[in-house]
Structure 1
């Protein structure tokens, strides 16, 4: 991955380190789950997690987001264990899941309302974040007026508006056409470069992982089978590991 040619200008948010120590979560009855996992993610690092269906990607993301609790081991964001949904992190999912009865700006400001941010500051931050994702002036619009790519931009803006220290992304571009996916990938890199937030991006698409990540972790059967800097990866070997 190379530095984006242009990066959005905004106030940097210092990412936090993420640590998984002997983290295990097993479902039983043929569902593998994950673990034991030991991972260290550096502050401001862009980590891509790749693997086929059933490799444990979704379980890992649910653990990081605090939706599941490890049956063994510990997850820490900074120095604090993650033991449930944490205001220092946000999740962007494959489907934008916006509120159709709210305006675009209202969707972006939703998390700020829950944080009891004053109205004027909410409006200013929503507008700033919409500009950041290339939707300046879209605040008064309704969700049904937007394209799929624009809805994902709004979803990303909503996640960024609360100024997270860790941004989790669950295959956010997989439902989009190739051109839109490429454009949004480039924009995400620009935002990450400007924001300095720690990013964990989960995908089944190896090419996407190599294009975006500073570092790539490959999962298979709930375990890490490869962990390396993207520029140092033996791509043919990695494909064989994931497909074998």
Structure 2
């Protein structure tokens, strides 16, 4: 998979900064449950594609929950651009492993859901839905129902729903892990094309080391809730990542 160069024009995304971010779970957590994250200092530049890897319990899920505003740091601060993230934020969206679409809505209705909640006029919603479906390769699929779609198509709808909100930061939680290898490769290529077109800041979490190296401009490896490695993807290989994660 060819690696794109850094965006040549001014990024539409915003920078992401974590300063001393710490989140620890209470005593009720079991020994097999992640203890938490941090302290963590991290910066993602505007328009950058960052991949985060790590074994189970390394803090990946906690990091995503903090970035998405579902959790609040117990210590430290998260800033998107020049403003703090203090809860779910319209400037960012999250695409999860499972598409989690509404089966009673059409494809267009699913993509329009967030726009309806924002109160956008019907004509503007329709135009944005059509534009986003074209972007993810689903032009003409608007009237279809969820049960008519393949797994890859459902993930495209999930991505379109996130992109329709025109976020400054796109968070992706292993979005291709449930797909077959061929579909996964196709969608990964399409995601790079979308990133290139929109210049969104992307944080992509994955267990797959090859995927992280193929997609990311930069890779951060988490171990025990802390950054074990932070380097440009071009300087890394699977063996080095695996050695870092295994400690």
TM-score of the superposition, structure 2-length normalised?
A: 0.93
Matched, 1:20 2:18: yes
Q: Deviations over 1:33-84 (max 9, x none)?
A: 1000000000000000000111100000000000000000000000111000
Q: Which residue of 2 aligns with 1:190?
A: 193
| Deviation for aligned residue 1:129 | 0.3
Q: Which residue of 2 aligns with 1:3?
A: 4
Root mean square deviation of aligned Cα: 1.3
Q: d(CA) in 2 for partners of 1:2 and 1:233? A: 14
Contiguous gaps of at least 5 residues in structure 1: 5-11
Q: Which residue of 1 aligns with 2:167?
A: 164
Matched, 1:217 2:220: yes
| Deviation for aligned residue 1:238 | 1.9
Kindly tell me the number of residue pairs found equivalent between the two proteins.
Answer: 237
| Deviation for aligned residue 1:234 | 4.8
Q: Which residue of 2 aligns with 1:117?
A: 120
| Deviation for aligned residue 1:235 | 3.7
TM-score of the superposition, structure 1-length normalised?
A: 0.95
Q: Which residue of 1 aligns with 2:139?
A: 136
CA contact (8 A) 1:13 1:165 kept: no
Which of 72, 75, 94 is equivalent to 1:91?
94
Match of 1:156, SS state, is helix
Match of 1:109, SS state, is helix
Which of 27, 37, 41 is equivalent to 1:38?
41
Match of 1:73, SS state, is strand
Q: d(CA) in 2 for partners of 1:237 and 1:208? A: 14
Which of 62, 73, 77 is equivalent to 1:74?
77
Q: Deviations over 1:103-156 (max 9, x none)?
A: 000000111101111001101110110010000000000000000000000000
**Deviating 4+ runs (over 4 angstroms):** none
CA contact (8 A) 2:50 2:218 kept: yes
